[in-house]
Structure 1
Amino acid sequence: MSHADIYRGQCFCGAVQFTLSGQPAGMGYCHCESCRRWSASPINAFTLWNPNALRVTHGADDISTYSKTPHSYRKWCRLCGGHLFTEHPGLGLIDVYAAVVDDFPYAAGVHVHYPESVLPMDDGLPKLRDLPSEMGGSGISAVE
């Protein structure tokens, strides 16, 4: 693995710091109401990783967790409230918010839960009704 395969990230105040190694399993935009409310934004730019790729290097004791459902365990810094990542045990992946990873070459490949969108995006990327079939969704395209 080259140096370019290591990415650093942190919460808003810098109390929690982490590294990611390798490459994500996928990247895209989520438009579901849950992600929008959690992120306080019209969309969530996600990067999905194997959980073993994430290593908290500083401030592990400052990470708090909230789980509305058993599908998602949302993590944030208890000092500044900055969002960090969401564990998705059913998928075997962890969503590290693209905005908290420094110098990461983010390149979305898909929109998920697009019918819930409050910010339509005409970007030529596939728009799905829910999730890709390999992630347990229908894989059905949504109307743009």
Structure 2
Amino acid sequence: MPSYKGACFCGAVEIEVTGEPHGMGYCHCRSCRSWSAGPVNAFTLWSPEAVTVTKGEAQIGTFAKTDNSHRQYCTQCGGHLMTRHPPMNLVDVYAATIPDLPFKPGLHVFYAETVLPIRDGLPKFLDVPKEFGGSGEMATE
């Protein structure tokens, strides 16, 4: 079973993901853009049991603006690590946190909020797919 290692910006917190992600893609929502300080956030979604903190668990801080997203970061350097999504029972480990994982995006979510249109032929959901509690409505390229 494949596994990939990653760390925060300073290396105080290390994580490992095991197996295959449930999905990978790009999020365009205002919250992810603000949190990441970028025009789009690359995500990888994992089962909680597939994500292990191997070093520095005491250094992890959590900020939950909503009940849907519990964003986690290193309290030493402020480096972003992952977002736990309790309603979906998934963990978004930011693609940049696990640099050796071959990133193969399959969709865009919250494309209605985009500030950086991307023409890549991938499905673009106005919010999220129905199976994740969204409308499932698509945007056009």
User: Which of 35, 39, 42 in structure 2 is aligned with 1:42?
Assistant: 39
Match of 1:72 in 2: 69
TM-score, normalised to structure 1, is: 0.96
| Secondary structure of residue in 1 paired with 2:78 | coil
Q: Which moved more, 1:133-142 or 1:45-54?
A: 133-142
Match of 2:87 in 1: 90
Q: Which runs of 5+ in 1 are unaligned?
A: none
| Secondary structure of residue in 2 paired with 1:90 | helix
Structure 1 distance, partners of 2:8, 2:132, is: 27
Q: Deviations over 1:78-131 (max 9, x none)?
A: 011000000000001000000010311001000001011000000010111100
* RMSD (CA atoms): 0.6
| Alignment-mate amino acid for residue 55 of structure 2 | H
Structure 1 distance, partners of 2:7, 2:58, is: 14
Match of 2:25 in 1: 28
| Alignment-mate amino acid for residue 100 of structure 1 | T
The count of corresponding residues between Structure 1 and Structure 2 is 141
Q: Deviations over 1:27-75 (max 9, x none)?
A: 0000000100000000000000000001100000000000001111000
| Alignment-mate amino acid for residue 49 of structure 1 | W
Q: Percent identity?
A: 57
Q: Which runs of 5+ in 2 are unaligned?
A: none
**Within the alignment, does 1:124 sit opposite 2:105 as a pair?**
no
Superposition deviation, residue 143 in structure 1: 2.5
Q: After the TM superposition, which parts of structure 1 deviate over 4 Å for at least 4 consecutive aligned residues?
A: none
TM-score, normalised to structure 2, is: 0.98
